[in-house]
Every structure is written in C-alpha cells, then in structure tokens.
Amino acid sequence: MNEQVSFKGILPAVYNEQEIIDFKGNPLIEALPPILSPEEAYEKLSYYPPYDVKEASLPTHIRYHAIPRINNFFQPVMQNLDLEQRFSRLLRHGYVSRNPRLPDYNRALNGSQNIRSTASSMTLMGFSGIGKTTAIERVLSLYPQVILHEHPLNLMQVVWLKLNCPHDGSLKSLCLDFFLKMDTLLGTNYYEKFGNRRNSISSMVTRMGQIARLHCIGAIIIDEIQHLLATRDNNSEKMMNFFVTLINEVGVPVILIGTMRAKAVLQQDFRQARRGSGQGDMVWQQMKKDDDWDLLIESLWEYQWIQKRTSLTEELNQTLYEESQGIVDIAVKLFALAQGRAIETGAEMLTPAAIKQVAKDDLKLVQPMLKALRDGRTSELEKYADIMPMDIEEYLVMRESKIDLRATVQKKKELQAQKRQEKQITNIETIMNALIALGIEVEIAQKAATKALNEVGNEDLPTIMKVAINLAEQLNEPKPKTSKKRTGTLLQIVEQAKKNKKSNYELLKEAGYIKSPLDEFAM
C-alpha cells in the first residue's frame, strides 16, 4: 500500500491542530500544511538552480547547454507572496462548510441537502510573460495534491486541480480534461464512465460537480481563460455559469487566470461569483523599476557562463529593464540570449550595447508590443490586448515621465535650434568658400560670412553673399606686394562682370585681387 501511495503521489493525512476557530475539527483543513508566514513563503517559493562558477571554463559547445537552466530560476517578489497568502485563505475558507465529520456533509454528498457555501473566487489577470502561470504553479507546489484520509473517513482529498481552458472554449472539452486529470491522480476510470460521446454536456457537468464533492476538491484553477473569447453559441456564458455553480452550490473555490485579453469575459460573465469573492482580484502589469526589480535582477545576474564575469551596473540593469519593459519572461530570455551571443562572438562579456542588439535581432516578434509599452500610446497599446493595461488612464499617469508634454515641446525646440545651427554652419561654409575663391583670406572670409549671416538673418543666400562680399572688402587691407594696382571694390567688380558677361575670376584677376601662383616665380 505504501509503495502504491508513493507512486501515485498520494500522501497519508497528518493532522495538525488549528489555531483558528473556523478551522478546528475539520480534517480537510487539519491535513493541510501549516499556514506560512511571509518569510517562510519566500523561502519555500524561491528556486535557485544549481550553479558552479567553474562551468564558465567549460568548452563553448558545452556552455551553451548550461544557459537554459536559467529558465528554472524563480525569485519571489511581493506580488508572488500576496498570491500565496490569498490562495491559502481561499483554500482553507472553502473547506469551512465542507467538514466530513459533520452530518450535513454526508447529506449534501447524497444530494438530499444543500449546505451554505463558504467558497469564493479569485481572478488573476496580467501581461503575457509576466509570470502568472509560473507563480501559481510555485504556490501549488507548496501543497500535496492528493491526501488519503483513512478510516473512518475513507476518502481521497484532492487539494487542488489545475486545468487549462480549451482553445475552443468548449465546456465539454473542459469536462473531459477534468475526468482525465482525476483518473491520472486517483487511478479511477471517470473518463471511461462519463466521457462517452453518448453523454450530454449537461450530464458531464453534473458528474463533474459530484466528483468534486466526493473528492473534496479544495480549489480548481483554470488557466488561459482568454480562450473563451474564441467561443461561439454562448459557450463563454455557459462555462462561466458552470464556474458560478461550482462555487455557490458545490462549494469549490475557483481561480481564473488569463491575460489582459480576458478582461471583457471576466468583468461581465463572472460577476455573480465575484460578488462573493473574499480574496479580491489581482492584476499583474509590467514590473516597475523598483526594489523588487533590482532584487530579481541581482539574483538572476549570478548565473553567468561567460569567461569575463561581468558585474551588474546600474546601466546594465536599466538597459535590461528598458529592453524588456519590466516583463520578467523577456528579461530572463534577454539575459540568456546575451550570454549566448557573448560566447558565440568571443566577446565573453555582457554590455548594454550587446543586450540592445540581442533584443533587436532575436526578439523581433515582440518588439512592436515592447515599443507600445515604452511609448505609452493608447492607439498602439489597444492593438495588443494581451498587454493592454487594466486602466489606461492610470497607466498613462504612471508613464507620465515618458510622455510629458512639456518635455516633448522642449525637445522639439532643442531639435529646431540644432537644425538652425547646422544650417547656419552650412551657409557660413558655403559663403566662405565663395569668398576664398574670390581671393579673400580665410580669416577675413570667415569673419565676413559670420557677420553677414548675423546681420541679414534668414534671407536667401544670394542676398547674404552680397553683404558678405561688401564686408570682406571693408575688412580686407591692401597688400603692398601686389604687382598690379587693385581698382574698384569687390562688389563693383562683381556687378561689372555681370554687366559685361565676363567671369568674376577674370575681372578680379585684372583688378589685382587674384594672382597666379606662377607670378611668384616670374623673372
């Protein structure tokens, strides 16, 4: 018997005396593990994969196989501890009205009497990749799934059962999955007996409720609830009504988990059960760049398989946050991929630039969603229902620093000023080159061009050029070594060239402003 119990994962009941009056004398609660303090929960929820710094010295092709170990890493943050506490309360209070030692329990089991349910519901919505499923599975791992109560109770208590909402949102598919899971846990044949095609959906639903009562299921967790959006023929409403029945009539607490896409379903179809919810609902959006995030990254950073071990700097931390936008799954993937790239290229170290490049190259599919989160634009966020914030106005307030109008206007002014400055520099260079071509010294050409631009402003270039030539003539001092006498001002010469249809160069040379390099060597 012990070998069979061990093989099936069914643990014999060990009863613990309860301190809460509501829990005293109830074997279903007494057989549960002790209630954990936040410190105990933190310790038990944490999972740090084994790691040896010597692995960084292994050959390249071996180290590649060590990196995926990071995916098993779990560092609890405050919202995980909150989830553990809520589940603990929901599970225990759901058992308060189901005490197998009381006569009412047997009468309810036979269907001859209804008992007042103490069960409640809870919903957990969050961004895709924020860690909802991982967190609930870590919490569930703190409890045995099946507990055997021997004589005189003679029952197998299923503490929790986790199901995934079918992709088509079919209630029949959910029932069949329920029967299969129960058979796997208990060695029963419920699927064979009640999963036959001849059985109607209503018949399956009834049997499911009876089995839940018989085995004292503590809580049913339904993940991926957003799949209900794909249903037809009111299947979504039917399934939600079934959950309400489980809670109110069978007395089994229900936890629904889904992405932000599930908001429409949960806010409308689950309202009857939500009225009795004593645990509240949880919404997990992107993590903020706070102590929780820093603790998570500091713990994760220990797992390095690169040869040049890199210390965590604020710049690296900030880069990882910006590129993942506080979504844990993406942050972990980026950290792993960046190490793989460092090993592949031979750089053997982590840098902000490398993390950014990996995000650009290897996370192309999620870049539009991350950009929408980064920019905080409602029109963009609405395209991605899985990451749409619960309250867009509240979200935009949180992201105020990213989209502050004053900052945007100031940045626009700075860009305009920069463009004006660049244009001015270009114009000065153009005028200087023209003046130098006319034989003006570089220093005088620069002064004349700069002064002309300051005086004329945004006029067209020919106008500025005329002023610059005039200024250059004023600044230019006669050169005593000139073999030819200069006649006329530069402006007069240029105007005369236009009038006589001659080149400026020819007339300027005749006037003595331009001298051929060969003249220096003339004998």
- pLDDT (tens digit, 9 = 90+) per residue, 430-463? 888 888 877 788 788 888 888 887 777 655 677 7
What are the backbone angles phi and psi of residue 149, rounded to the nearest 5°? -105, 115
Whether residues 432 and 386 share a domain: the answer is no
List the structure tokens of 108. 């309810």
Range(s) of the domain holding residue 411: 404-477
- Measured CA to CA, the distance from residue 349 to residue 271 in angstroms comes to 52
Return the beta strands (E) in 37-153 as ranges: 121-126, 146-149
Instruction: Answer yes or no: are the C-beta atoms of 185 and 145 closer than 8 Å.
Output: yes
Does 252 share its domain with 107? yes
The answer on 239 and 356 residing in a single domain is no
pLDDT at 471: 83
Q: Report the distance separating Cα 253 and Cα 220, nearest Å.
A: 6
Give the total number of structural domains in the chain: 4
In a domain, 56, yes or no: no
Residues in the chain: 523
Residue 504 lies in a domain: yes
Pick the closest to residue 81 from 48, 43, 41, 35 (CA basis): 41
The dihedral over CA atoms of 482, 488, 494, 495, expressed in degrees to the nearest 10, equals -170
Do 435 and 347 fall into the same domain? no
Whether 250 shows a pLDDT value over 60: the answer reads yes
Residues 6+ apart with CB under 8 A from 409: none
CATH of the domain at 195: 3.40.50.300
pTM equals: 0.71
- Does residue 40 lie within any of the structural domains? no
Q: What is the chain's Cα-based Rg?
A: 38
Residue 230 has pLDDT above 60, yes or no: yes
- Mean pLDDT over residues 502-520, rounded? 55
Q: Using the predicted structure, report yes or no on whether residue 4 has a pLDDT greater than 50.
A: no
pLDDT at 131: 92
Q: Residue 436: which H helix or E strand, with range?
A: helix 405-437
Among residues 402, 420, 453, which one ends one of the domains? Answer: 402
- pLDDT for 469: 84
pLDDT band of residue 222 (cuts 50, 70, 90) is very high
* Residue 117 sits in the same domain as residue 223: yes
In a domain, 419, yes or no: yes
b (16+ CB within 10 A) / e for 192-228 = eebbeeebeeeebbebbbebbbebbbbbbbbbbbbbb
* Token representation of residue 404: 């502050």
pLDDT over 90 at 356, yes or no = yes
Amino acid 369: pLDDT: 85
Distance CA 30, CA 33 (A): 8
Confidence (pLDDT) at 92: 97
Q: What is the pLDDT of residues 148-184, one digit of tens each?
A: 999 999 999 999 999 999 988 889 999 999 999 999 9
Binned at pLDDT 50, 70 and 90, residue 406 comes out as: very low
Residue 51 included in any domain: no
Across 240-261, average pLDDT: 89
The predicted pLDDT at position 516 comes to 47
Are 308 and 277 members of one domain?
no
Cβ–Cβ under 8 Å, residues 260 and 125: yes
CA-angle at 182, arms to 180 and 185, nearest 5°: 110
pLDDT band at 474 (very low <50, low <70, confident <90, very high): confident
d(CA 499, CA 512): 19
User: Would the pLDDT of 401 be above 50?
Assistant: no
Distance CA 413, CA 407 (A): 10
pLDDT (mean) for 26-50: 95
pLDDT of the residue at 262: 80
**Residue 419 clears pLDDT 80, i.e. is over it:** no
Burial of 89 (0-12, 13-18, 19+ CB in 10 A): middle
Share of the chain above pLDDT 70, in %: 76
Range 235-251 average pLDDT: 85
Do 362 and 236 have their domain in common? no
Using CA atoms, how far apart are residues 229 and 235, in angstroms rounded to an integer?
9
Cβ neighbors of 31 (< 8 A, separation 6 or more) are 13, 14, 15, 16, 147, 149, 157
Q: Which of 166, 255, 180, 252 is nearest to 209 (CA)?
A: 252
